[in-house]
Amino acid sequence: MSRPHFFRDFLRGFQAVLPLWLGIIPFSLAYAVSARGAGLGMLDTQLMSVLVFAGSAQFSAVGLFAAGASGVEIVLTTLLLNVRHVLYGLSLSRRLPLLPGERWIAAHLLTDEAYGMVLAEPQPSFAYLLGTELSIFVPWNLFTLAGSIIGQGLPDPSRLGVDFVFPLAFLVLLIPMLRGRVELTVAVLSGGLAFAVSRVLPGGIALLIAGVVGSLVGALLTAEQPAPRDPTEAEAP
């Protein structure tokens, strides 16, 4: 890809995520305040945002650290909360072929929001994916630093009413993809299953189960449909 095309796609991806900053910024601030309150230093708090870069896992790790959990418990919980990214990676590898170096970068920066944006993009590219990912990574880390500096004087983001931003964004991305019976069936089944399982299991596990079941059901329903006929194929005499 030429440099002008790379920059154009990168900019499109970066701009696509800008509306989600309304949710990203307050929660990155809240994470930083929670981490400092749990006893983590400014460097530790920042390194977690840079190296882990997973909101739910970071909040969980901070809570476990404050409760005196062992390092093994914190790592295992983090893995469970983010195991759904395995499904994201498998899905993206089929939709967007990447070079080995690009895979490492994309895997580290991948988030739920970036995955959803790329899935909804008709012609995704690595530049577009990188743009969406950095549009989350940059504000998350900048406001982690800001939260570490400002301290405890910040309000609880749940009281600001911004927690609706992420589910609303996913609904906006999902609705245009429901083009037929198979898509609608899989969406309703996966959503209902994720909600039900999340009542008894952590969110990451619930999403993994819903994703696996939804994928299998989608594959079965698709396999039942006749393959589209090639219009260029000549009629048999």
Encoded amino acid at 185, one letter: T
Residues 87 and 149 in one domain: yes
Per-residue pLDDT tens over the stretch 118-167: 888 888 899 999 999 999 999 999 999 998 888 766 665 556 555 555 56
The answer to whether 1 and 125 are in contact (CB under 8 A) is: yes
Residues 136 and 221 in one domain: no
Q: Rounded to an integer, what distance in angstroms lies between the CA atom of residue 101 and that of residue 11?
A: 21
| More reliable by pLDDT, 9 or 181 | 9
Handedness of CA 28, 33, 36, 42 (dihedral sign): positive
The answer to whether 140 and 28 are in contact (CB under 8 A) is: yes
Which two tokens mark 119? 């899935």
Note whether residue 231 is domain-resident: no
Position 71 scores a pLDDT of 83
Phi, psi (5° rounding) for residue 221? -65, -35
Residues 23 and 120 in one domain: yes
Per-residue pLDDT tens over the stretch 164-219: 555 655 565 566 666 677 777 877 887 788 788 878 876 667 777 777 787 777 77
Residues 92 and 200 in one domain: no
Note whether residue 96 is domain-resident: yes
Query: What is the count of structural domains for the chain?
Result: 2
* Domain span at 105: 3-162
